[in-house]
Structure 1
């Protein structure tokens, strides 16, 4: 999907989700902390939201992040690396490639994530029952969850309850690359 198509698709999905929940733009703005004009621009495909903006909307509407990019589910799906869309964090250096979306059949979503050297990404707490699974392929990553801190090296993995604010920080001189699975308890 090209960038313009993705922007239009995200807007269309946001409108569907909002209307399905019976929310006006004003009510959705209050729930998400994103302004009514910005939500309107996203719905009309006039604004390409950042990863942080989509996370705020997803958390405020209590839907998975990938709800905005999911399409009808085939019986099998091959994902080619060159076809993955790259979404960038609000302050740069945090690149997310959605691989698989949560849908009515799958209680998780999966992403490839790159963090450039010495950059960090702050994530607000997810709803209760959400867990994250990280599998570090390259680099050194520090993950802070509430008052706990974990340092991951190549090949390490981490599972945590994501109902607290958390930070991913590349503390090495090479790009940190990991696979992230976000699991939603049914």
Structure 2
């Protein structure tokens, strides 16, 4: 893995100069001291993740741009060629299309629920949100004590810090997309 320090310095300097910002103005926007901004730009300081998040948010720079982790090698993912995980008596087929990445803060699953499938997920971390999009069939989703019947194409966002159950009591396969944001 390459050291991201030089990229941080370059991106910060370039962004500041393109926007015509002084060190003081940059410090006010980011909440990072003028001295620290200067040290980072000169490559004299290795900033903490917290400092990088402040700079990223304050200057509205993508965190991945700042640390240089963009992957420019694009490749289509053939979901049906991924190794699935089988749950609930093999009636829930889950494909982890985009595994969790701490920089993006999310993971993406492509899920099939065969007729009769029922899967209860335990609570996730307190700040976790789940975004579901039903693209085929009808999903019965229970979040804590609330039940939702989602017919394709419908979507729902919910806090996943409580038990939640995905059910397919129908004769058709349910296909859904799940994005979990941590």
Deviation at 1:90, TM superposition (A): 4.4
Aligned-partner Cα distance in 1 for 2:71–2:78: 15
Equivalent residue in structure 1 for 2:71, among 74, 80, 100: 74
Equivalent residue in structure 1 for 2:136, among 138, 141, 146: 138
Higher mean C-alpha displacement, 72-81 vs 111-120 = 72-81
What are the ranges of 5 or more consecutive residues in structure 1 without an aligned counterpart?
1-71
Q: Secondary structure at the match of 1:114?
A: strand
Contact 2:79 2:95 (C-alpha < 8 Å) held by counterparts:
no
TM-score when normalising by structure 2: 0.58
1:151 aligns with 2:149: yes
Q: How does 1:41-120 map to 2 (within 5 A)?
A: 74-75=71-72, 76-120=74-118
The aligned counterpart of 1:178 is 176
The aligned counterpart of 1:125 is 123
Deviation at 1:83, TM superposition (A): 2.5
Aligned-partner Cα distance in 2 for 1:169–1:96: 14
Equivalent residues, number: 113
Aligned-partner Cα distance in 2 for 1:150–1:90: 20
**Change over 3 Å in CA distance of 1:90–1:141 after alignment to 2:** closer
CA displacement 1:67-90 (0-9 Å, x = unmatched): xxxxx9833443122331111014
Q: Secondary structure at the match of 1:82?
A: helix
Aligned-partner Cα distance in 2 for 1:130–1:89: 21
Deviation at 1:152, TM superposition (A): 0.3
RMSD of the alignment, in Å? 1.7
| Runs of 4 or more above 4 Å deviation | none
TM-score when normalising by structure 1: 0.57
Aligned-partner Cα distance in 2 for 1:91–1:122: 13
Deviation at 1:105, TM superposition (A): 1.8
